Structures are given as C-alpha cells and as structure tokens.
Amino acid sequence: MTLVLASGSRIRAQLLNNAGLAVDIDPADIDERAVEAPLLEAGFPPEDLAGVLAEAKSHDVSARRSDDLVIGADQILAFEGERRTKPDDMEAARRQLLAFSGKTHELHSAVAISRNGETLWRHVSTARLTMRDLTPQFIGHYLAAAGDAVLSSVGAYQLESLGVQLFDKIEGDYFTILGLPMLPLLAELRALEIIET
C-alpha cells in the first residue's frame, strides 16, 4: 500500500515529507467550483464545505489507486460571513488585504483519508487570524516584495514568509494555517497502523 497525496500543493507535500512520510503526489482532477456550488446555495457552513472538498479530492484519486491510502485536503477562508477564493490578480489581492486590515478571518483546513473510493476518516481544524491595521502604502510594498506567490494563497499571504508581517494575533494550529492539519492526521495514521505508534 502506498500513501498518496491528492494535491499538487508544494507546502502540503513538504509538511508530510518533513514529518518523515514518503508520499506519491497524484493531484485530484475535480472541478471544485462545481462541487461547491450546490453546497453554497444550500447554505453549507465554510468548515463543512472544506470537509466535502477534501473528501471529494481523496475519493477522486482513491477511485483510480486501488488499495492505496489517499490523503485529500482543502482550505476555505471565511471573512464576514463570506467564502473567499484565491485572488485572480495583484489588484484583487490588494483589495482583499485592504478589506482584511484590522479584522479577523478564519481558515478552515480539512483533511480526509480514503481507500478504494471510501472515506475512512475526515477532520476539519479552524484557525482565526487577525490582521493588524495596514496602510495602503504598506500593502503595496508587501505585494511588490512577495510577488505573484500571493496569488497561490486564498488569503494573499504565506504565513511562513513575508505574510507573517501582516498579523497582530493568530489563534490556531500553524499546520492548519498552512492547509494541512498535521497533528490530527498523524494521530489517525497511527490509529490505522500506517505509521509507528
């Protein structure tokens, strides 16, 4: 049996490798917007939406990877009752950071484990992040320094680099913020006897 990550996320793969886990990378091929559209219309809370997307990704890959153990993950950013997606361009990133300035948003990070198209386990962790008051000038300097990398993040920041300068307060697990709740995942892999206890 092989451990598979159903994601092309560099940081998720790095987190698993740093924890000593050898994983195959096999990104899921699903239309996330199509999966989430009826759920958003039905009023699903963001944390449930993250869980459904993580599970859909793990199912997609496990259906074609017989007997392998597949890890799917997803992260949803909720701000003032709305789900936010990755900014399309630097102007969208600038507007988003201006909106977040001095306020709190939540990151809901979900992880699911599937085998042969069936979910064995699913978990969602939430972190609350409060940005400091940001001036338009600071945001401009930050975006220029961080570059297009901010467009790969739902919040327009990477906490593990320059993005840490944006915050006053963070409540929650660092791994949750990076998009993969490692501690619950490792505990479940031990419970499944995939890794040593």
Domain definitions of the chain by residue range: 3-191
Q: pLDDT tens across 21-39, in order?
A: 999 999 999 999 899 999 9
User: What DSSP line would sit under the chain, residue for residue?
Assistant: --EEE----HHHHHHHHHTT---EE------HHHHHHHHHHTT--HHHHHHHHHHHHHHHHHTTSTT-EEEEEEEEEEETTEEE---SSHHHHHHHHHHHTT-EEEEEEEEEEEETTEEEEEEEEEEEEEEPP--HHHHHHHHHHHGGGGGGSTTS--TTTGGGGGEEEEES-HHHHHT--HHHHHHHHHHTTSS--
State the pLDDT at residue 66.
Answer: 87
Single pTM value for the model: 0.92
State the pLDDT at residue 30.
Answer: 94
| Confidence category of residue 160, pLDDT binned at 50, 70, 90 | confident
Considering the four listed CATH numbers 2.30.40.10, 3.30.470.20, 3.90.950.10, 3.30.2020.30, the one that applies to the domain covering 3-191 is 3.90.950.10
Does the pLDDT at position 81 exceed 90?
A: no
Residues serving a catalytic function are 74
Tokens of 4: 């598979």
| Confidence category of residue 15, pLDDT binned at 50, 70, 90 | very high
Does the pLDDT at position 197 exceed 80?
A: no
